[in-house]
Amino acid sequence: MEDRLWHKAYAPQVPPSIDYENITMPEALERTVKNFPDNISHIMMGKKITFSQLNDLVNRFASALADLGIKKGDKVAIMLPNMPQAVIATYAVFRLGAVVVMHNPLYTERELEHQLNDSDSVMAICLDLLVPRIQKLQEITNVQTIIACHIRDYLPFPLKQLFPFVKKEMHRKTNPKEEVHDFLDLVNAYPPKPPSPDITFDDLSTLLYTGGTTGLSKGVMLSHKNISINVQQLKAWIYDAEEGKDSLIGIFPFFHSAGFTAIMNQSIFRALTVPLIPRPEPKVILEAVRKYKPDWFPCVPTIYVGILSHPDFSKTDFSCVKGCVSGAAPLALETIKEWESKVGATIVEVYGLSETSPLSHANPWGGTTKVGSVGVPVSDTDCKIVDIDTGTKEMGIGESGEILLAGPQVTKGYYEKPEETAEVFKDGWFYTGDIGYMDDEGYLFIVDRKKDMIIASGYNIYPRDIDEVLFEHPKIMEACAVGISDPYRGETVKAFITPKPGETLTEEEVISYCKEKLAAYKVPKLVEFMDDLPKSTVGKVLRRQLREMDEEKTKGKESSE
């Protein structure tokens, strides 16, 4: 790669360009097993699984999936929190040359229906509690087979006894197309000898759903090359994580692009131990830090805020932590200062999107970290800022515009959506929809989003999903959801509503209604009623203007207090 302004900011150990290994992630697992068979790969609430045991489970489950009809190219939906089955299932699907489709297990039926149909998924591997929901969806999707996973399967005694068996008969109430299979039954019934299809570096490996820049969520196509290269870029950046020795706390959910690459795949590539956090709550995380003493601590801003304010924070020794990483949402300056003064470990802010596997930028590990910046492009990654109106004029230092990216970790596009792909991929550049500027050393600063996506607690929320639910309410004439600043969540959802003439609504009614239709983190926390919503000359509700109006109102209140 040609010299770029930001290369001077790299730590001496980090190369501007990398000689990448042509190795898929299932091959990386085999290599790790060969080199570190008895090292601990994952810890689930005290239960330890070695890399050798993990590989055996992956092969057994892959054999079972093959017998159930899964073959190269098939789409398999995974809806699990951070638990061993999520890793085992992902690598078993990889091993068969099939495609992993990651879903947030908190999604409602409505949200899952869209993604299951859009991805052409034929199988769903999910938490036992979600089985009835997936069974209902079988009649309106292509899902033929369901595999139920239980939290208790990989818990140590006596914790295992606290989680009762879920009776299989409960799964059959809605007449599924086929019997629901039990994860552990399958693993125990099959030998560790799955088929070995020819898998190339360019084959599709994963679909991660994102809102992109417009419309409903779209499946980002990631090849084996995309995810392997992004792990290798991360390895080069965080160069002093000790292979086969260090540990990495598993807070980022694996269904999120950051958790998928930076936790699940990186730990297998580098033989790092991961204490799993199925439900990321401050108390649980602090207990894990005290018990397992992780070397690396990556998480979202809300976790840092929650931990700092938790009463157990003062009882927890963070001296084990070599480095902290924050991603998925902006981190407040006050939080960074408080964390670093109390913990002593630098927080490295990073940036990326599902379309970039996700890492594209990071503050230089071992170099200069600039507070407020998401850092510089990682190895072999190019970035430029163009004007928002035409997308063709390159902006100067310090001038804001749309962020464009290019690199080997960038997706080739959205699954079965050529028009949407063509909108954001032009002349070898990915148009991110994010607005930012670069300083004179190549550090990127995010100032806004061209897209209206809301990021609350690290979750991507697409306002249109909320709007559509609100429009279905019989008393609502117009509605528009926006993201407003929130000191804890980064952003939170506020709904602006115009009731139908003669109708009256309360904030409580609207929120209760949304709770029935949306995942909890998408439900508006605030509701404001208006006689009329601001619109463009063509009648489009001006979402950004509503956000700006709310910000001005908030500033006015603060200045008068």
By the 8 A CB rule, do 126 and 146 touch?
yes
Mean pLDDT of the region 256-285: 95
Mean pLDDT of the region 376-382: 98
pTM (2 d.p.): 0.83
By the 8 A CB rule, do 524 and 510 touch?
yes
Q: Could you tell me which residues come within 8 angstroms of residue 10 by beta carbon, excluding any fewer than 6 positions away?
A: 16, 364, 367, 376
Q: Report the first-to-last Cα separation within the chain, whole angstroms.
A: 54
453 vs 427: CA distance, rounded Å: 25
Q: Name the more confident of 82 and 335.
A: 82
23 vs 35: CA distance, rounded Å: 16
90 vs 79: CA distance, rounded Å: 11
- What integer pLDDT is reported at residue 314 of this predicted model? 93
208-240 exposure pattern, b = at least 16 Cβ within 10 A, e = fewer: bbbbbbbebbbbbbbbbbbbbbbbbbbebbbee
By the 8 A CB rule, do 271 and 319 touch?
no
Q: What's the pLDDT band for 166 if we cut at 50, 70, 90? A: very low
Q: Which two tokens stand for residue 252?
A: 């980022």
447 vs 330: CA distance, rounded Å: 10
Residue 424 exposed, middle or buried by CB count within 10 Å (0-12, 13-18, 19+): buried
Residue 334 exposed, middle or buried by CB count within 10 Å (0-12, 13-18, 19+): exposed
By the 8 A CB rule, do 247 and 272 touch?
yes
- What integer pLDDT is reported at residue 386 of this predicted model? 97
Q: Indicate if the pLDDT at residue 42 is higher than 60.
A: yes
The average confidence (pLDDT) of the chain is 90
508 vs 69: CA distance, rounded Å: 48
Q: List the one residue out of 399, 378, 398 whose CA is nearest residue 387.
A: 399
Percent of the chain with pLDDT over 90: 72
By the 8 A CB rule, do 263 and 216 touch?
no
Residue 173 exposed, middle or buried by CB count within 10 Å (0-12, 13-18, 19+): exposed
- What integer pLDDT is reported at residue 272 of this predicted model? 98
Q: List the one residue out of 206, 250, 252 whose CA is nearest residue 458.
A: 252
Query: So where are the chain's domains?
Result: 456-560
Q: Indicate if the pLDDT at residue 189 is higher than 90.
A: yes
By the 8 A CB rule, do 36 and 271 touch?
yes
Q: Which two tokens stand for residue 111?
A: 């949200």
pLDDT tens, residue by residue, 334-361: 788 889 899 988 899 999 999 999 999 9
Q: What's the pLDDT band for 560 if we cut at 50, 70, 90? A: low
Give the DSSP letter string of 143-187.
Answer: --EEEEE-GGGG--TTGGGGSPPPPGGGGGTT--SSPPEEHHHHH
Q: Tokens 């109390």, residue? A: 342
- What integer pLDDT is reported at residue 539 of this predicted model? 54
Positive or negative torsion for Cα 536, 539, 544, 550: positive
Q: Indicate if the pLDDT at residue 159 is higher than 60.
A: no
- What integer pLDDT is reported at residue 158 of this predicted model? 54
Q: Could you tell me which residues come within 8 angstroms of residue 417 by beta carbon, excluding any fewer than 6 positions away?
A: 218, 219
Percent of the chain with pLDDT over 70: 93
Q: Indicate if the pLDDT at residue 198 is higher than 80.
A: yes
238 vs 231: CA distance, rounded Å: 10
Residue type, position 17, single letter: S
Residue 259 has φ and ψ, to the nearest 5°, of -70, -35
Lowest mean pLDDT across 117-131, 249-263, 297-311, 313-327: 297-311
By the 8 A CB rule, do 154 and 48 touch?
no
Q: Indicate if the pLDDT at residue 200 is higher than 50.
A: yes
Q: Indicate if the pLDDT at residue 537 is higher than 80.
A: no
Q: Could you tell me which residues come within 8 angstroms of residue 371 by beta carbon, excluding any fewer than 6 positions away?
A: 333, 336
525 vs 510: CA distance, rounded Å: 10
357: left (phi over 0), alpha (psi -120 to 50) or beta: left
CA–chain centroid gap for 451, Å, is: 18
Q: What's the pLDDT band for 161 if we cut at 50, 70, 90? A: very low
Rg (CA), the chain: 23
CATH architecture of 456-560: 2-Layer Sandwich (3.30)
Q: Name the more confident of 147 and 489.
A: 147
Using omega within 30 degrees of 0 as the cis cutoff, is the peptide bond preceding 158 cis?
yes
